[in-house]
Amino acid sequence: MTPPRRRQGDQPGPRKGGKGSRPGQGPRGQGQRGEGPRGQGGGPKGARGQGGPKGGPRGPKGAPRRGRQPDRGTSGRSRGGQPDLAPPEPWLPQRDVHDPDGVRLQKLLAGAGVGSRRACEQLIADGRVEVDGQVVTELGVRVDPLRQTVHVDGERVQLDDSRVYLAFNKPTGVVTTMSDELGRPSVGDYVHSRPERLFHVGRLDADTEGLLLLTNDGELAHRLQHPAYEVLKTYVAEVPGPLPKDLGKRLREGIELDDGPVAVDSFRVIDSRPGKAIVEVVLHEGRKHIVRRMLETSGHPVISLVRTQIGNIRLGDTRTGRWRALTRDEIGGLYKQVGL
């Protein structure tokens, strides 16, 4: 008996003893999932486009698929024509900082007070030492202490033994000069026994006492006084009281003087008693008599004034008329503040 012919569109029934096929799906790789586009009733719910294998026909090779995640190492947000990854940094060749006629680096560091020679060798091996901006890890490197610069952990180490850095507590009545033609007491009178040719960094008027830096390092002195580096200076002043509550706010916002406005970086009241008060003023301005003029304009003329700090250097317990040598860390801190 001849089996009846199937009409077009009929689907074969399940094989005897085999797995049944779902409606609208033929054998893998041969049948089609529906024949009409979605929404036109040409196939069961979920049919895609014009049919074909599950997922539809693939587009051109390399075309992005819907919902595709960005490749690793990319942001997924690059515009057309722009690279997905940032260009690598240009390779810089190693510069030879070795000076055959120089001194071994670890010896210079030890002599500058960085640590024992063995500790300095370890600093070099760990890559924590730079010579002229170049990291040095070899122990045999020699450098010229007068020509080359050395940094340890980002702070400059002064290797030139001829450089001098002093913190001087200037008394009242002493003029800020190294010698005075009128015969008045001067700063130079207190360091005349030293063989170096020293000069003062900035100045204090005769009626002001406190911290004054003395050195023979011209480059550092110039930068410490330059307004571009905004090195902070701290003063303690005694003024008549009582003080208004908004005095600090007014000084921080700025006071107009004859030569232009001035604003403090910080202001606080240290002590207040009947008839007088002690205040701390921090600012980076360096104009003449700036603290006295500012407080007088605000209605509180200065009775006495002491400078207690410049940058990271504190006056501490240095007695009036005495000086002390700065430590290696203090010198390195000054260099760091002015970008040396």
Q: Which residue has the tokens 């722009």?
A: 82
CA distance 326 to 201: 14
Q: Is 106 exposed, middle or buried (0-12, 13-18, 19+ CB in 10 A)?
A: buried
Instruction: Name residues whose C-beta falls within 8 Å of residue 254's C-beta, 6 or more positions apart in sequence.
Output: 261, 262, 263
Let me know: does 309 contact 233? Beta carbons within 8 Å: yes
Let me know: does 11 contact 31? Beta carbons within 8 Å: no
C-beta neighbour count of 307 within 10 angstroms = 21
Q: Which residue has the tokens 């910080």?
A: 266
Instruction: State the catalytic residue, choosing from 205, 259, 271, 329.
Output: 205
Residues in the chain: 340
Instruction: Name residues whose C-beta falls within 8 Å of residue 25's C-beta, 6 or more positions apart in sequence.
Output: 31, 33
CA distance 53 to 56: 6
> What spatial distance separates the first Cα and last Cα of the chain, rounded to whole Å?
106
205 is catalytic: yes
CA distance 275 to 272: 8
DSSP state of 229: G
Tell me the pairing of strands 142-143 and 209-215. Answer: unpaired
3-state secondary structure of 141: coil
H or E element, residue 247: helix 247-253
The answer to whether the Cα torsion of 38, 44, 46, 48 is positive or negative is: negative
| Integer-rounded Cα radius of gyration of the chain | 40
Q: Which residues are known catalytic residues?
A: 205
